[in-house]
Each structure stands twice: as C-alpha cells, then as structure tokens.
Amino acid sequence: MFQQSKLLKSFSYAVEGMTHALTTQRNMRIHFVVALCAMILSLLLDLSKLEIVLVFFSIILVVAAELFNTAIEAVVDLVTHDYHPLAKIAKDMAAAAVLLTAVHAVIVGFFVFFDKLFPPKFRNLQDTGEMAIYVAFIPLGILVLLLISWRAYARTKKQG
C-alpha cells in the first residue's frame, strides 16, 4: 500500500509539472493544439502502424523538449536574475532543442500526412480490422491531452 501511494504521488507530480507548463508556457499550449490536430488527423486518415508510431513519437519528443526547456529556464532563473553569458547559453541551447524537435515533427508530419491528405484517404472506422487495437491508442492520446488541458484551464480560472 505504501509503495502504491508513492507511485500515485509521482504520477501526480508529473501531471502537476505538465499542468504548470501548459498554464505558463505559450509554446506548450501551441504544441498541445498542434498535437491534438495531428492525433485527430491520425484517427481520421488511413495511417499505418508505423505512421501512427512516428506521429506519437514526434509529439512526445516535442513536448518533452519543451518541458526540459521550461525546467532549464526555471533553474537558471533560480540561480541568477542577473545577465550571465552562461545562463544565456543554457537557455538558448534548451530553446534550440525544442526548435530542432519541432522541425523534426513538421518533417514527419509532412511525410505522414501529405499523401493521405492530397487526395484525402480516410480510414474506414467501421472496418479497422487488425488496426483496431492500434487505432484505439489515438483516442486515448487525445483524452490525455484534453484532460491535462482541462486541468490547466481549471487552474487558470481558479487563479484568475
């Protein structure tokens, strides 16, 4: 029982970190909206398992990079409020990592979605066949994004 409560607390802290990033970081909100759109497209378009994995991997990579960027900025701001060239380097490199992952996601998105959008090749949701178990993860991802977004929205309303 003791271990289970520690595990639940660690998940709670992780959700708290994501919620904080979503409420305080404009770029994280942009990433969430783009991720939601990519997941909806992944559900509607006829993507393969590999394409779904690539989309999810790209989303997670960008969001993780943004979380690391936010954490590095917070630590640098904690250490010094004065301008320091090393603080600038740390912040700039963290931002560069986010930019790099975002460019990667755009490239993956182009390769995955372009041929499916022009002309549109929609998934037959009544007959997903062997893909059903894989496609089921897409609404789960959408649900996670929406729940975290709702929590961040509720926190913003409570503070404001």
Calpha distance 115→117 (Å, rounded): 6
Contacts of 108 (CB under 8 A, 6+ apart): 54, 55, 57, 58
Q: Which long-range contacts (CB under 8 A, 24 or more apart) does 108-115 make?
A: 108/54, 108/55, 108/57, 108/58, 109/38, 109/55, 109/58, 112/47, 112/51, 112/54, 112/55, 113/38, 113/41, 113/45
Residue type present at position 71: A
Residue 16 appears among annotated catalytic residues:
no
Which is the catalytic residue, given 16, 66, 73, 130?
A: 66
Residue type present at position 74: A
* Catalytic center residues: 66
